[in-house]
Amino acid sequence: MEVIVAEHAGFCFGVTKAVDTVYEQIAKGTSGYIYTYGPIIHNETVVSDLEKKGVRVINDIDELEELVAENKDNSKKQPAGTIVIRSHGVTRQVQTLIEKTGFDVIDATCPFVKRIHKVVAEESQKGKSIIVVGSANHPEVEGIVSYGDGKVYVIDGPESAAEFDENRELDYTLVAQTTFNKKKFQETVEIFKNNGYNINIVNTICNATDERQTEAEEIASKADAMIVIGGAHSSNSRKLYEICKEKCADTYFIQTLEDLHLNLTKNVKLVGITAGASTPKNIIEEVQNYVRTNF
């Protein structure tokens, strides 16, 4: 049986940079606590390793507001600290609050996400309405939306695009969540064009996502079984799973090797493996070794 592991599997450039930033701060012995706003990546193994090394997670805006308040109150003043902003960025409101803590701030927002913030801010200042194609409750999309000054709509794909019924006299600019499914993005764009909207399309799906999805689809098309490794809360991994499942009915979605209960028949000749942007290399290797040695 042959096993193919996707070349574009695992940490992307933005996630690598964010995770490395936190480990560098630990190694430097940065004074005070090191915080991340939200878990640095959607991977429990990495997050719990960081927790053991003393990194604290600020889970939401309420916890952030508490920190700001404690730092104003001299009796409770927190020791010096550093807050790392993770790769998919934060809202403008959160950014302001983070700065108000008085801690050092390291912004590890991926440059591809920063670019979307810039496009949305500039285009909405020109008076355009913004359409973001993505998941409304994903932190990256919440951040993107916050950079719009006027109307901002979030739609989650072709079905919502077909139902979209707003003023066709206005000018719109459309962007995408960096990890959006590129085929669904193209379908969505077509629907807007066909429905008579005056729309400026900025394809902001990042290269890493594009390459990862294209390669996963290619492997899944020829594989008899496909394994997608990714965090349960990682939206790019879920999308990867959907893409593979469409091409290969026998697709497994796992977080770690422990979740894998492969049921391979003798007819299985090719097993493909890919992984989302927040999956560390060692987990991919473990799964790969297990499949190679046990089947």
Q: Which two tokens stand for residue 168?
A: 């066709």
- The helix/strand/coil state of 89 is coil
Distance in Å, CB of 13 to ligand F3S, minimum: 5
Distance in Å, CB of 113 to ligand F3S, minimum: 5
Q: Which two tokens stand for residue 189?
A: 């764009």
| Closer residue to ligand F3S, CB minimum distance, 178 or 274 | 178
DSSP assignment of 165-227, as one string? Answer: ---TTSEEEEEE-TT--HHHHHHHHHHHHHTT-EEEE-----HHHHHHHHHHHHHHHH-SEEE
Of 51, 65, 140, 187, the catalytic one is 140
| Closer residue to ligand F3S, CB minimum distance, 15 or 22 | 15
Distance in Å, CB of 23 to ligand F3S, minimum: 17
| Closer residue to ligand F3S, CB minimum distance, 16 or 186 | 16
Distance in Å, CB of 152 to ligand F3S, minimum: 19
Distance in Å, CB of 57 to ligand F3S, minimum: 18
Query: How far apart (Å, rounded) are the C-alpha atoms in residues 37 and 55?
Result: 11
The strand order across the sheet containing 81-85 reads 55-58, 33-37, 81-85, 104-107
In the DSSP assignment, the letter for residue 75 is G
Sites of contact with ligand F3S (CB under 6 A): 12-15, 87, 110, 112-113, 178-179, 206, 208-209, 277
| Closer residue to ligand F3S, CB minimum distance, 189 or 208 | 208
Alpha helices in the chain (DSSP H): 13-28, 44-52, 61-72, 92-100, 111-125, 139-146, 158-163, 182-194, 207-222, 235-247, 281-294
Residues 6+ apart with CB under 8 A from 242: 181
| Closer residue to ligand F3S, CB minimum distance, 8 or 223 | 8
As a whole number of Å, the end-to-end CA separation of the chain is 7
246 a catalytic residue: no
Q: Which residue is nearest to ligand F3S (CB)?
A: 14
Give the active site residues. 140
